[in-house]
Amino acid sequence: MSNAMVSICMPAYNAGKYIAEAINSVLSQSYERLELIVVNDGSTDNTAEILHQVRDKRVKIFHQSNKGQSSAANTAFELSSGSLIKFMDADDIISLSFIENQVKCISGRKDAIVSASWGRFYNNDLSTFKLNPETVWKNMESTDWLTESWRYGNSMMQCALWLIPRQILDKSGLWDKDLNLINDFDFFSRVILNSSEVLFEKEAILFYRSGISGSLSDSKSETAIRSAFKSIEKATRSLLSYREDKDTLLACANTWQQFAYTLYPKHKNLLKAVEYKICELGGSDIGFKAGKLGDLFIKIFNWKTFLLIQSIIKN
């Protein structure tokens, strides 16, 4: 097995509730040749106090004023020394041999990246964990991976999944500091496209914490939504610059369509721009899923009427 140094880059903002568990998940790894760089991005909770209690020579801690997740992730990378890089959120949990298995899988290659298995758990209860198998859980050429992953508009590209050779990040560029919501979609699209192949390691498992109220991905502010728009715009443009066949056009259209379903009725103006992009790409083939009764309602009326009524009831 390779003896490569692995750098885990962890931005943290007001992560006091979960960060100790995330750090322990890294420090308990069977693979010992690693370093963890935590960048506290101006947290106002007890994150700094928890970090102060960490006593492990493999951990580097850096405090900065609040500049955003992307900036903190970039700072962590700049402080890293490993030839293999992993980014992690401050609430992530990975299986005990996660890094060891990914290092074995990459086997010294500098032109490929490694993905992993994942599943969700809810209400901070690991007993609710369930794997979420995907059609991309296999070794694939990079543009094939993105096209297949985006096919139904619900791609999973969460940061902890990936093990990345430093050389690939030198080519792809770092996180876009202007993005906050789904900034990983743009970033990892670039990383994947600068790789020749995406390798899959089944035995590396990410436990993805779901249902956290107030999380970044839960944000629906105008600023966050426009960040998501820009991230999707950048990512789809990147893929289409490498390949522009009917499958790729459909994958991009479906990614936009899935985003469109999150915009109505609050962000109608932005929805028009999204619908234009879908039309430009040749149209989408995914419908809005609302359960048996909801689907029947949508069949009679349409998904916008359904979401409008749903919004009125909620408010």
Q: What is the CATH number of domain 6-217?
A: 3.90.550.10
In this prediction, residues 12-39 reach a mean pLDDT of: 98
Residue owning tokens 């990147």: 238
Q: What is the structure's pLDDT at 50?
A: 98
Q: How far apart are CA 118 and CA 100, in angstroms?
A: 16
Q: How does residue 109 score in pLDDT terms, banded at 50, 70 and 90? A: very high
Cβ atoms 201, 162 nearer than 8 A: no
Cβ atoms 123, 210 nearer than 8 A: no
pTM over cut 0.85: yes
Share the mean pLDDT of the chain.
Answer: 96
Q: What pLDDT, in 10s, does the model give residues 115-168?
A: 999 999 999 999 999 999 999 999 999 999 999 999 999 999 999 999 999 999
Domain ranges of the chain: 6-217
HEC letters along 101-115:
HHHHHHCCCCCEEEE
